[in-house]
């Protein structure tokens, strides 16, 4: 309860006072500062345990709900046209007046509200299909930037909390002692170690390239890994070469209208040329009804393996259409072609293929266009090497 009720800036204040106390002799130190630091350390350990407990509860409830839904018999045919209850008016006496929008919305809200036994999981500490934000309290003498020693101490804190066996790839750990500015103090668990964020293309940090983006839902890190004030589109690392032939077949040069803001605060519609293509990530479903008839039980959902990912699979949130966009220049077109080796005809006088690992990784950098994306249709934009900050 202390960890939930205490404002986040209080953690940084206590940590700063605790670090400054080491500059005075031990006899002159305030014992209350050490007690406060110990209390916040224990609070963060308890907070982390509760968050992971909530994740297990949410997944168990979702699994039980899916099992009940699969085992339930088909519903009987409805006897009434409105399908609500028998005390409603008969379909033969339906009113000829159109319902008002307010009454219809109120009625839908009443009947769409779930009953108590089937309520969906809700918690302010964890959301389903989102990365959990775990907490540790490790005062850093080096300031906002965590040193290697501080990162190792964060891992030790997770071990002391007793949650090392519950961590998964993609879990985010926040050293709340260093502050709440941007992504300061946020680390990502890669399955074995805590990793720093990548600051090559963003000043506030993005996910490291070692995490396969397709293994997580498109919005898995939304609001857990924050975006910068200049752009709300997060950087991802995606290899589109397996769909190169489809991208080459659907490539088009189009005009696009973009709404931009001037330094004075006014908005203008700007027309620009873009190269745009698309490909489809298809679900490998193979007639589950036939498999159920032959085996008598529901078959496991087939999954798409991610190459070079140590047994990871594409998350179903990516199933659907992926729209790829880049600038309408020849340089941007050549960059897109390099991201799909073998799909386009060789360019006359083109540069030789660079096989350096760093150059290959640069061809996998994209941004998710949140303002255009929707379920079943994800828009991404190729990030040019010119956009790299360092």
Indicate whether 115 pLDDT > 70. Answer: no
| Least confident piece of the model among 55-64, 159-168, 219-228, 296-305 | 296-305
In angstroms, the CA 347 to CA 335 distance is 12
More confident residue, 334 or 82: 334
Two tokens, residue 236: 């991802």
Tell me how long the chain is: 390
Q: What is the pLDDT of residue 300?
A: 58
Residue 309: per-residue pLDDT: 82
- In the sheet that 194-195 helps form, which strands lie side by side, from edge to edge? 133-136, 172-175, 186-189, 194-195
| pTM across the whole model | 0.80
Least confident segment among 183-187, 286-290, 320-324: 286-290
Query: In whole angstroms, what is the distance from residue 285 CA to residue 303 CA?
Result: 8
Q: What percent of the chain has pLDDT over 70?
A: 82
Position 39 scores a pLDDT of 96
Q: Using pLDDT thresholds of 50, 70 and 90, give the confidence band for residue 150.
A: very high
Average pLDDT on 382-390 reads 89
What is the average pLDDT across 160-185?
Answer: 95
Q: Sign of the CA dihedral 234, 216, 144, 194?
A: negative
Query: Counting beta carbons within 10 angstroms of the beta carbon of residue 19, is it exposed (0 to 12), middle (13 to 18) or buried (19 or more)?
Result: middle
Tens of pLDDT, residue by residue over 79-107, are 555 544 444 444 444 444 444 434 434 44
Tell me the C-alpha distance between 135 and 178, whole Å.
11
Average pLDDT value for residue range 304-310: 85
pLDDT in tens, 335-368: 999 999 989 988 755 555 555 777 888 999 999 9
What integer is the mean pLDDT of 52-63? 93
The answer to whether 240 touches 279, Cβ cutoff 8 Å, is yes
| Measured CA distances, 19 to 27, 159, 180, 182, 301 (Å) | 16, 23, 18, 22, 52
The domain spans of the chain are 2-59+123-196, 237-387
Using DSSP's 3-state secondary structure scheme, residue 238 falls into coil
Parallel, antiparallel or unpaired: strands 320-327 and 267-281:
antiparallel
């Amino acid at each position: 309860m202390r960890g939930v009720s205490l404002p986040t800036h209080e953690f940084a204040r206590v940590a700063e006072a605790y670090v400054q106390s080491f500059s005075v002799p031990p006899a002159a130190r305030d014992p209350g500062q050490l007690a406060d630091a110990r209390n916040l350390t224990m609070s963060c350990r308890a907070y982390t345990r509760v968050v992971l407990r909530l994740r297990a509860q949410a997944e168990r409830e979702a699994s039980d709900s899916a099992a009940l839904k699969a085992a339930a018999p088909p519903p009987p045919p409805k006897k009434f046209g409105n399908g609500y209850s028998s005390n409603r008016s008969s379909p033969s006496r339906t009113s000829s007046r159109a319902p008002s929008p307010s009454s219809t919305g109120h009625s839908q809200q009443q009947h769409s509200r779930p009953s108590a036994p089937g309520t969906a999981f809700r918690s302010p500490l964890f959301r389903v299909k989102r990365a959990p934000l775990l907490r540790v309290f490790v005062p850093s003498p080096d300031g906002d930037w965590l040193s290697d020693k501080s990162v190792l101490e964060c891992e030790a804190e997770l071990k002391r909390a007793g949650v090392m066996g519950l961590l998964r790839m993609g879990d985010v750990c926040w050293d709340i002692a260093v502050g709440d500015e941007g992504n300061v103090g946020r680390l990502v668990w890669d399955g074995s170690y805590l990793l720093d964020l990548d600051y090559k293309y963003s000043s506030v940090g993005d996910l490291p390239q070692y995490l396969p983006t397709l293994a997580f839902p498109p919005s898995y890190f939304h609001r857990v890994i924050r975006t910068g004030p200049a752009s709300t589109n997060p950087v991802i690392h995606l290899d589109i070469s397996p769909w190169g032939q489809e991208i080459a077949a659907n490539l088009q040069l189009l005009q696009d209208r973009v709404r931009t803001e001037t330094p004075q605060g006014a908005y203008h519609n700007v027309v620009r040329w873009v190269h745009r293509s698309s490909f489809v990530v298809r679900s490998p479903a193979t007639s589950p009804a036939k498999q159920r008839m032959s085996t008598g039980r529901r078959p496991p959902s087939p999954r798409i393996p991610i190459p070079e990912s140590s047994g990871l699979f594409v998350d179903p949130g990516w199933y659907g259409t992926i729209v790829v966009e880049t600038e309408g220049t020849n340089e941007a077109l050549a960059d897109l072609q390099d991201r799909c080796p073998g799909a386009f005809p060789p360019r006359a006088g083109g540069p030789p293929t660079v096989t350096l690992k760093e150059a290959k990784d640069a061809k996998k950098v994209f941004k998710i266009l949140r303002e255009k994306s929707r379920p079943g249709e994800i828009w991404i934009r190729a990030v040019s090497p010119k956009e790299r900050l360092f």
